[in-house]
Each structure stands twice: as C-alpha cells, then as structure tokens.
Amino acid sequence: MLRLLVIIQFMRLLKIVLSASVFFAISFTSAFAEVYSYGKDNTVIGVIKTHKVNGNESLIEIARNYNIGYNEIVDANPKLDPFLPGSNSTVNIPTMWILPDVAAYDGIVINITEMRLYYFFKQKKTALVRTFPIGIGDEGNDTPVGNFKIIEKIVNPAWHVPESIKRERPELPNVVPPGPQNPLGTHALRLSLGSYLIHGTNRPWAVGRRVTHGCIRLYPEDIPMLFQMVPNGTKVTIVRQPVKVGVKGDSVYIEVHRDDTEKDINYFNEAVELLRKKGLLKKINTEELYHAVREKSGIPVKISGFKIELPQNIFAENFLREGRITFSAVIQRPF
C-alpha cells in the first residue's frame, strides 16, 4: 500500500514538472519569436523594455536591435539625441502595442500612422499575431489605405524603375537586378493595387520613416520571415489610426501617435469616440487620458481607474488648443 502511494505521489510530481517545462518552453519560444496571443479581453501585446546605451550606440542601431522603427524609438525618447543619446543613457524600448481597430483580425493589417504591420494567424485554434516595423510612402507618394490582398510572392525581385522615379533620377537603369543595390531587398509581396509591394530594403535606416514612393519596407531580416508565413491570397487591410484603444484584463489602455499628414485631426475626440464605441468611458481616469493625448508618445498608456470621475461634458478643443487640463468654456457635445 505504501509503495503504491509513493508511486502515485511521484507520478503527480512528474506531471507538475513536465507541465512547467512545457509552459516555460512555450513562453521563451514565443518571446524569442515575437509571437503574441490575443483575445477579446486582451488586445494589448508585448511589454515595455529599457536599454542602457553602450558607448556610441545611436537610437537607429538600438531600434533595429529591438525590431522597432526609427519613429517609435524617437517618439518614446523625446529628450534623447537620436544620433548621440549618450553612453549609459537609459532608452525606453516601446515593444508594447495596442492592436489596430478593424472589423476582423485576419491576415495582414497595416497602420500607416504608427508605421507597423501586424500579421494575424491561428495555430491549433489559438489566435496569434506577429508584428513588424515598416517604412512607408513620403508626402505626395502616400501609401494607400483600403482592403487588398497578396497576389504574388517574389524571391530576389528585380526592380523595374517606374517612370516617375526615372524623371527624378535619370541616371537609373530601366531595371535594377537583384543584389545589394536593389531597393526591394531579397523578397517582395505584390498587392492587388497597381505596382505596390511589401518588400525588404537595402537601406535599413528607412524603416520607421516616410521615405518610399508608396511601397511598404521591412528590415532585411524581417521580410524573409513574413514572406515564409504569408500565403498568396492573404487579406491586407491598410488603415490610418493615430489613436488606438485596447484592454488587458480589467485595464484600459490608449496609444496615441503624431500624424503630421492629418492637419485637422482632433486626437481627444478620436479617443473619446473610440472609448464610447467600446463601452469603456466609465472605466477611465480623466487625468491619465489627458496626459496620454498631450504626450503622444506612441506607447500604450493605462488610463483606467477612478481617481477622477469623467464629467458628462468636456470642452475638448479648448484643452487641445491650450495644452493643459481644463473643464471650462463651451460644451462641444455630451458623452
């Protein structure tokens, strides 16, 4: 009898050890592969990290090491010089994101404002997402928004120089063959819209910047991963969302990005409308909401709590114009 009890206890212990081993293996694998799970009550992924500058490291180098774009690391560290942040300086690494607000998490979703691509997929019925920083079209060559799909996958693409670029740079040949001088990099995904591509780059510093002629660029090390995961026919949704709202358990988060192309945008109204749409207005801390809208750090900020009750009427324009908290002036519209 005693021997049987010992065997039973041993089997229970073995089960616990094996379960823990599987858990930690999955956790470390997911963290290393930058694959995140999400759900209805969890639309905030990743964690904020910090980095100590080593010698003459620039923010551009640090951003690439953490797989974030130039825009993200600069917005998260407004007091640091992007090129000479200073040895031993502490750098905020914004590796935390709120998922874009779309009808369905299916295939590729690109948020132009934050310059980031999300790829949604399922593995054994588990909803997963992987995310990459991108470079986008500059002013006058804006990356289009809308619903598209992947219609062709190309390895080592040749670059057929468009006439518009030839007029700007007549020294270019008609076709640039694959290789280190090819701006398309090693892989390309063709969208169902003219000549627009999701591709690599021979200029990694362009990721997190508006420097392309409308195409979407990924780091050279990222594009092969995306290329391998994405099948032909994959849905591609491109949106422009400077304000995102998400939840993580009982907590509400907001993420605000500057969008210089939208001159008339009212960030506060955008935030309130999203919170209203998701039924989250009653959960927020007004002071934290104001601070997040004012800072526009591009980092998810927790705004839930009951330190200050949200009043029924707020004059948003006055707040945004004066850049400070105020409950005075004319009522714009009730919540």
Q: Which residues are catalytic?
A: 199, 215
The full DSSP string for 174-234 is: SEEPSSTT-TT-SEEEEESSTT-EEE--S-GGGTTSEEESS-EE--TTTHHHHHHHPPTT-
Cα–Cα distances (Å) from 209 to 58, 149, 165, 203, 213, in that order, read 16, 24, 19, 11, 12
For 324, counting Cβ atoms within 10 Å of its Cβ (0-12 exposed, 13-18 middle, 19+ buried), the class is: exposed
Distance between CA 217 and CA 201 in Å, rounded? 6
Q: Contact, 289 vs 311, CB < 8 A?
A: no
Secondary structure letter of residue 42 according to DSSP: B
d(CA 91, CA 63): 10
Residue pair 158/231 in contact (Cβ under 8 Å)? The answer is no
8-state DSSP, 69: -
Contact predicate 308/135, CB 8 Å: no
- One-letter amino acid identity for 298? G
For the record, the structure tokens of 12 come out as 């229970």
Residue entry with tokens 């065997």: 7
Cβ-proximal residues to 195 (8 Å cutoff; 6+ apart), any chain? 162
Residue type, 24: F
Tokens of 200: 């690599």
Q: Is 5 exposed, middle or buried (0-12, 13-18, 19+ CB in 10 A)?
A: exposed
